[in-house]
Structure 1
Amino acid sequence: MKNRLSSRLRLTLSGVTLLTLLLMCVLVFAGMYFQTTADNREQLRQQAAQLSSYLEASDDPVSLLEGSVFTQRVTYLDTDGTVLYDSEVDASRLESHAGREEFQQARENGEAFTARSSATLGQTSLYYAKRLADGRVIRVSGTQRGMLRQVRDLLGYLLLGAVLCFGAAMAFSRPLAKRLAAPMNEVNLDQPLESDVYEELSPMLRRMAQQNARIADQMASLTAQRHELDTVLGGMKEGFVILDEKRHVLTMNNAARAMFCITNDPVGQPMIAVSRDEALLRLLDGQGTECAMQLNGMTIHLSRSHVEGGGTALLMQDVTAAQAAEASRRQFSANVSHELRTPLTTISGYAELLSSGMLQKPEDATEFGRKILAESRRLLTLIEDIIRLSRLDEGVRGEVTPVDLTALIQHCVQKLTPAAQNAQVSISASGNDPVLISGDHALLEEMLTNLLENGIKYNHAGGYVRARAEMADGRAVVTVADNGVGIAPEDQQRVFERFYRVDKSRSKQTGGTGLGLSIVKHGAQVHHAQIAMQSALGEGTTITLTFPAQSSGKK
C-alpha cells in the first residue's frame, strides 16, 4: 500500500510540476510576445510621428525621404493610395495601396496599426500608418518573430528544464509520501474521529466512524439473534442440525449432541464423521424427506428440509417413548377387550341359561343369579378403574385439601376389616400422630385401599397386613407391609403395569382387575411421591410411598 501511494505521489507531483512549468512557459512567452509587440508598435509610432513632422515642414517630401537612411521600412502614399516612396522597393514597381487596411484606417481615423503574420517565414509584419496634414499617409513597418518560432527556438531549453523538474519530483516524492502517509498510518480505525490527521481527511474519517457504528449495530444485532437462536435451540427437546452444502456441521444443539452421544463441538466436521447410519446418509442423499433411525437404543424420527444457499436442516425427534406408549396403548386396548369380554361372556352365558327355561332346580337359578351379580360387580369395578386411570392420564385431579394420612389409613383399615376377617388375615394401623399433606383425598383413599386389598388378597390364612404413616426427615412416609405370597424379582418392575398379574388364577379367584397397582403408581405421580417395593416369594411385600417435604406437616 505504501509503495502504491509513493508511486502515485511521484507521478502526481511530476505531472503537476510539468504542467506548472508548461503553464509558466506559456505565460512567459505570451507576456514577452505581447510586450515585444507593444514596444515595436511604440517604436513605429514614434518614428512615424518624427517623419510626419519633417515631411509636413518640407517643400519636397519625396526628395527628403530619398536622402535619408531608415532602419525600418518607410512608405509614403498619396491621397489615392499611390506609392510615392518606399525605402526598400522602387515605388514605380509597387501597386496602389488604396486597398490596404492600414491606409484606409489612417485616412479615416488619422492613424492605424495592423499586423500580418507569415506562416512560411515564421514572422509577423507590423504596420503603423499616420495621415499627414495634406491628406497623404506615411507608413512605417517592421517585423518580429512569431510566438511559435520563439518557442521552437527555446524548445531544447524547455525539454532540459522538464527533465530536471521530473527528476527532482521523483527524488523528493518518496520522503514526501512517507511524511504524508505517516499521520494516516496512525489513524485509530476503531475511533477515527479521535485521530489528529489532516483536515482534508475529516469527511473520510466521519464516514469511517459512521460505518463503524453501523457495523457495531449490525454485529450487536447478529449477536443478539445468535444468542436468541442458541437459547431457542438449547431449550428444544428435539435435536436440530444445520449442514452446509458440503454436509459440514454448522449448528448442532444440545439435544442432537445427546442423541449422537458426542461431547466435543462438532461444528466444522463432516456429518459422516458424526454418524454413518445408512438411513441418515440416504436421507442426506435426497432419498425422501423423512425416515426413522435406530441410534444408541433410541428410535429417532428424522425430517430433512432445504436451507437457502444449498444447506440442509435436520430435525430429530426421539419417538422411543411415543412408540412405547403406542405399543402400551395397543396392549391396553387388547387387555381391556379381553378383561371386559370375560365377565360379559360369563354374564351372557348364565343369562342365556336362565332365559332358556332349562333349569330344573330352583337353587340353580339362585346360584346363577349370584354368579351374574358377582361378574357384574367385577365388570363395574373394572370399568371404574379404567375410567379412573383415564382421568389420571388426562391430568384430571380432584380438589386438593389437607389430608391426615394417619386418619385416612385408620379409615381404610376399618373399612377392609370384614374382608380381612373373611380371608383370616389380620389388618392393623399403627401410629396415632397426625401426618398432614395437601392432596386429593379420594385418590389417596383409593391408593391406600388398593394396597391394603392386595395385602389381603395375596395372603394366606393367619397372615397379616400392617399400615403406618409417619414423618421422616421432614417428609410424609406411608408403609403397607404384609407377609403374604410375595412377588418374584423378575415381576416386581411389571406389577405396576396395567392388567399385569403375577398369578392370574389367584387374581381371578379374588376378583382382581390388574389395575390396582397401576392406579397407585399414577396417584403417586400426581402427588409427586416416590414409590418403592421390597418383596420376596413366600415372605411378603412392603410398599413405601414417600411424599415431598413441602406438602407435609406434623402436629
Structure 2
Amino acid sequence: MNDLLPVIGVLALVALLAVVVFRKPAGHPVSSPIEPLPTASPARREPFEGTEEILQKMNEGVLLVDAGMRPTFANRAARTLLGLDDVLLPARLPLPELVTIAKEASAGAGPGEGEVAAFYPQRATFRVQAAPLESGAVMITLLDVTDEHKSQRIRREFVAHASHELKSPVASLQTLAEAVVEALPDDAVAAERFAGRLMGETDRLAKLITDLLDLSRLEDPTRPPEAACDLAAVARRETSHAEAAAHGSGIGLASDVDGPLMIKGDPQQLSLLIRNLIENAIRYTPSGGSVGITARRDGDSVLLEVTDDGPGIPQEARGRIFERFYRLDKGRSRDRGGTGLGLAIVKHVAELHRGTIEVGGELGEGSVFTVTLPALGAPAPETSRAVSGPGSSTVLPIDQHKETV
C-alpha cells in the first residue's frame, strides 16, 4: 500500500492536466496525437498552469503517454532520469519495460508496476508505477531507488561477511572443545594446549562481536550529545592501556602528546578511534619495532598521528582499507587477531566528529595514520565526500543524512 502512495498523490495533481491535454472539442478533426487547445480564458487556464508547475518541481519523474504509448508530457525529473531532451519528446518510451508496464495499466488490469534498470544516462534503478486515466492516457511515475538498492546490497554483503567471520571461530571452538574432551583422560599436556587455543578462539569471537556492536552504535543516526573533550587525556589513557600488549609482543610504544587538546565530541567514541589505531599498529609491527602516538594543536585543528614499523600499505589499497572486513592479507590478519572492522570504526568516528583521516608512509617502511579534528571553537569544516589521491588516502566527512550500511 505504501508503494501506491506516490501514484495516488501524483494522480490527484495530474488529473486536471491529463484532462486538459487530451481533451478534444466536439467536432474538432483529429490530425495528431496532441491537439492544439482552443483559446481559453485566463481563469480557465490557471489550474492547468499551476498543476504543471507543481509537476515540474517534483522529485519523482512523471510521464504521460497516449493510447499508442507515445509520450505527450514529461516533467523535468523524468527527463533527467531517462536522459531525455529538455524540449523535444521521443516518439516512443525509451525503455521497453516502461511500455510493458504502461500497457498493463492501460488494459485495465489495475496499476502496472515494477522495477526497471537503466544504463543511460547512468546506471540506475527505478520503481515504476502506471495508472490509466479517463482520457485513455496512462500516467507513469518514476522513483529513483538506486541508493536504496545499493544500501540493500551493502547490508547483504555485510551479513555475508559477518556470517563468514563468525563461522570460522565457532567451528574452531567446536573442534577444540572436542579435542579437549578426548585428551583429558590420557594427555593432560595436550588438553592444556587445546584449552589455551580454545581460549584464544573465544577471545577472537568476543572481539568480533564487540566490534560489530561498536560499529552498529556508530551507524545509529541518533548522535550522542557532544561536550568539550580533552583528546590529549584520551590519547594518554589509551596509550597506557596498550602498553602491556605492545611490550608482550616485543614492541616499543612511544608517546608524544601535548595537552590539553580540547575538541567537541564524545570521549567514548574517541577512545574507540585511538584504541583501534594503536591495536592496528601493534598488530602489523614486527617484534623489535616501535609504534608512536603523537597529538598536537595545528591552527584550528587537533592532529593525532599513529605510526608503525609494519610492511606499509600499497597505494592501490589505501582507498579500501576503511571498508568493513577488508584485509590486505586475510590469513595473516586473522592470525594476528584482527576482525577486519577496526579501521571501519576509526573512519566512522572521524566522520562523526567532522574530521578526516589520512594514510601515508612508504611501502616496506611502515604506515602513518593521521586524524585531523576541528579544535574547540574552530569553524566547522565543509562537508565533503571520500576522496583518495597519490601518496595518501583521505576519508573526509560524509553527510550524516545520507547513508551509508
TM-score, length basis structure 1 = 0.53
Equivalent of 2:62, from 241, 246, 259? 241
Correspondence 1:294 to 2:118:
yes
Query: What does the per-residue CA deviation read over 1:58-102, in whole Å, with 9 as the maximum and x for residues that have no partner?
Result: xxxxxxxxxxxxxxxxxxxxxxxxxxxxxxxxxxxxxxxxxxxxx
Equivalent of 1:378, from 183, 204, 210? 204
**Which residue matches 1:278?**
96
The structural deviation recorded for 1:223 is 5.9
SS in 1 for 2:203: helix
CA distance 1:450–1:302, change in 2 (3 Å): same
The structural deviation recorded for 1:225 is 5.4
The structural deviation recorded for 1:400 is 2.4
The percentage of counterpart residues that share the same residue type is 29
CA distance 1:218–1:477, change in 2 (3 Å): farther
Matches within 5 A, 1:282-431: 282-286=100-104, 288-296=112-120, 297-306=122-131, 308=133, 309-356=135-182, 358-431=184-257
Query: What does the per-residue CA deviation read over 1:294-328, in whole Å, with 9 as the maximum and x for residues that have no partner?
Result: 22442312413225333333333333333333333
Distance 2:44 2:233 in 1: 67
Q: Is the 8 A contact 1:488 1:535 kept in 2?
A: no
Paired AA for residue 89 in structure 2 = Q
The structural deviation recorded for 1:501 is 1.5
**Which residue matches 1:448?**
274
CA distance 1:530–1:261, change in 2 (3 Å): farther
**Which residue matches 1:253?**
76
Distance 2:79 2:292 in 1: 49
Distance 2:197 2:152 in 1: 36
Distance 2:312 2:139 in 1: 53
Q: Is the 8 A contact 2:179 2:191 kept in 1?
A: no
**Which residue matches 1:506?**
332
Q: Is the 8 A contact 1:249 1:270 kept in 2?
A: no
The 10-residue stretch of structure 1 (472-481 or 452-461) with the greater mean CA deviation from structure 2: 472-481
Q: Is the 8 A contact 2:127 2:144 kept in 1?
A: no
Q: Is the 8 A contact 1:531 1:546 kept in 2?
A: yes
Q: Is the 8 A contact 1:402 1:436 kept in 2?
A: yes
Distance 1:377 1:219 in 2: 74
Instruction: Give aligned pairs, total.
Output: 330
Matches within 5 A, 1:1-40: none
Matches within 5 A, 1:403-552: 403-548=229-374, 552=378
Distance 1:317 1:470 in 2: 48
Query: What does the per-residue CA deviation read over 1:511-538, in whole Å, with 9 as the maximum and x for residues that have no partner?
Result: 1111111111222232233333235431
Q: Is the 8 A contact 1:402 1:439 kept in 2?
A: yes
The structural deviation recorded for 1:359 is 4.7
Distance 2:89 2:173 in 1: 68
Paired AA for residue 480 in structure 1 = V
Paired AA for residue 465 in structure 1 = V
Query: What does the per-residue CA deviation read over 1:529-549, in whole Å, with 9 as the maximum and x for residues that have no partner?
Result: 333323543122222333356
Distance 1:468 1:258 in 2: 49
CA distance 1:510–1:225, change in 2 (3 Å): same
CA distance 1:222–1:316, change in 2 (3 Å): closer
Paired AA for residue 71 in structure 2 = H
Q: Is the 8 A contact 2:235 2:257 kept in 1?
A: no
Distance 1:436 1:225 in 2: 54
Flag structure 2 segments of 5+ consecutive residues without an equivalent.
1-40, 106-111, 380-405
Structure with the greater relative contact order (CA < 8 A, sep ≥ 6): 1 or 2? 2
**Which residue matches 2:86?**
265
SS in 2 for 1:289: strand
Distance 1:307 1:550 in 2: 59
Paired AA for residue 475 in structure 1 = S
Paired AA for residue 270 in structure 1 = P
The structural deviation recorded for 1:505 is 2.1
Paired AA for residue 311 in structure 2 = V
The structural deviation recorded for 1:392 is 2.5
CA distance 1:521–1:462, change in 2 (3 Å): same
Rg larger for: 1
The structural deviation recorded for 1:396 is 4.6
SS in 2 for 1:480: strand
CA distance 1:313–1:523, change in 2 (3 Å): farther
The structural deviation recorded for 1:222 is 6.2
The structural deviation recorded for 1:380 is 1.0
The structural deviation recorded for 1:446 is 0.7
The structural deviation recorded for 1:385 is 1.0
CA distance 1:402–1:291, change in 2 (3 Å): same
CA distance 1:547–1:311, change in 2 (3 Å): farther
Query: What does the per-residue CA deviation read over 1:334-367, in whole Å, with 9 as the maximum and x for residues that have no partner?
Result: 2222222222222222222333355533232322
The structural deviation recorded for 1:450 is 0.5
CA distance 1:459–1:261, change in 2 (3 Å): farther
Flag structure 1 segments of 5+ consecutive residues without an equivalent.
1-214
Alpha-carbon RMSD: 3.1
SS in 1 for 2:327: coil
Paired AA for residue 82 in structure 2 = F
Paired AA for residue 295 in structure 1 = F
Distance 1:335 1:496 in 2: 15
CA distance 1:219–1:261, change in 2 (3 Å): closer
CA distance 1:469–1:423, change in 2 (3 Å): same
Distance 1:368 1:462 in 2: 29
Query: What does the per-residue CA deviation read over 1:273-305, in whole Å, with 9 as the maximum and x for residues that have no partner?
Result: xx7333334444448532322224423124132
SS in 2 for 1:511: coil
Q: Is the 8 A contact 1:437 1:552 kept in 2?
A: no
Distance 1:271 1:433 in 2: 70
